[in-house]
């Protein structure tokens, strides 16, 4: 065992010298590289100055005010005073769409002009002032070749607007 201890005593200084010199070389190399390297950080750009917006129209209504929105909604809901009479009792011809009706003729009795309308296979007569169609249609005039109808419908905004329609006389095709 003594021989082993002597061997170890000789090898330890040799091993220590090898490890220490490598570490010294690395440290020296790092110092040189550190001295040669120059860090160049570009300066930051100046921040833009913020100019706050001054709302100079203090007496004008606030565009985001809920009260202003309610006023505008009330105006739009008025619809210009046009509204159908929902309490009125519906007439028979109001249960059919206007596009299913065909004008097939005109009658005159006691100075009153009647238009003859065909719905499916049945013939009905109407006069000025009667209602027909599913959009609160009112017959406003009857001529020899047409029935003028004023309808009240809702637009995309929900307002009631008037729309005019016309049922024209349907002539039968003559066969040769």
Give domain limits for the chain: 92-168
- Residues in contact with 107: Cβ distance below 8 Å, sequence separation at least 6, in sequence order: 113, 114, 116, 125
Class of domain 92-168: mainly beta
User: Distances in Å between the alpha carbon of 62 and those of 12, 47, 68?
Assistant: 89, 32, 8
Q: Is 149 in contact with 167 (CB distance < 8 Å)?
A: yes
Q: What phi-psi label fits residue 46: left (phi over 0), alpha (psi between -120 and 50 degrees) or beta?
A: beta
Asked if the model's pLDDT at residue 118 lies above 90, the reply is: yes
Whether pTM > 0.75 for this model: the answer is no
pLDDT tier for residue 83 given thresholds of 50, 70 and 90: confident
Could you tell me which residues come within 8 angstroms of residue 136 by beta carbon, excluding any fewer than 6 positions away?
84, 85, 94, 151, 152, 153
More reliable by pLDDT, 78 or 126? 126
CA–chain centroid gap for 45, Å, is 42
* Closest by CA position to 152, among listed 127, 168, 132, 169: 132
How confident is the model over 23-51, as pLDDT tens digits?
889 999 999 988 888 888 888 999 989 88
Helix ranges restricted to H, 37-124: 66-78
What are residue 162's DSSP bridge partners?
152
Give the C-alpha separation, 135 to 98, whole Å: 8
Q: How far apart are CA 102 and CA 23, in angstroms?
A: 108
Measure the CA angle with vertex 42, ends 38 and 45; round to 5°: 165
| Tokens at 86, concatenated | 């929902």
Residue 124 has pLDDT above 60, yes or no: yes
């Amino acid at each position: 065992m003594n021989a082993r201890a002597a061997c170890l005593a000789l090898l330890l200084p040799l091993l220590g010298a090898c490890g220490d010199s490598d570490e010294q070389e690395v440290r020296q190399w790092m110092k040189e590289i550190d001295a040669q390297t120059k860090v160049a950080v570009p300066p930051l750009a100046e921040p833009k100055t913020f100019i706050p917006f001054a709302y100079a129209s203090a007496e004008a209504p606030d565009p985001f005010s809920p009260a202003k929105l309610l006023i505008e909604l009330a105006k739009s809901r008025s619809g210009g005073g046009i509204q159908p009479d929902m309490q009125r009792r519906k007439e028979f011809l109001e249960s059919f769409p206007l596009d299913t009706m065909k004008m097939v003729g005109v009658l005159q009795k006691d100075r009153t002009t009647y238009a003859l309308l065909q719905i499916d296979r049945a013939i009905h007569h109407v006069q000025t002032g009667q209602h027909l169609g599913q959009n609160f249609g009112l017959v406003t005039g009857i001529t020899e070749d047409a029935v003028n109808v004023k309808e009240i419908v809702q637009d995309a905004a929900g307002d009631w607007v008037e729309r005019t329609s016309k049922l024209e006389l349907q002539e039968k095709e003559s066969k040769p």
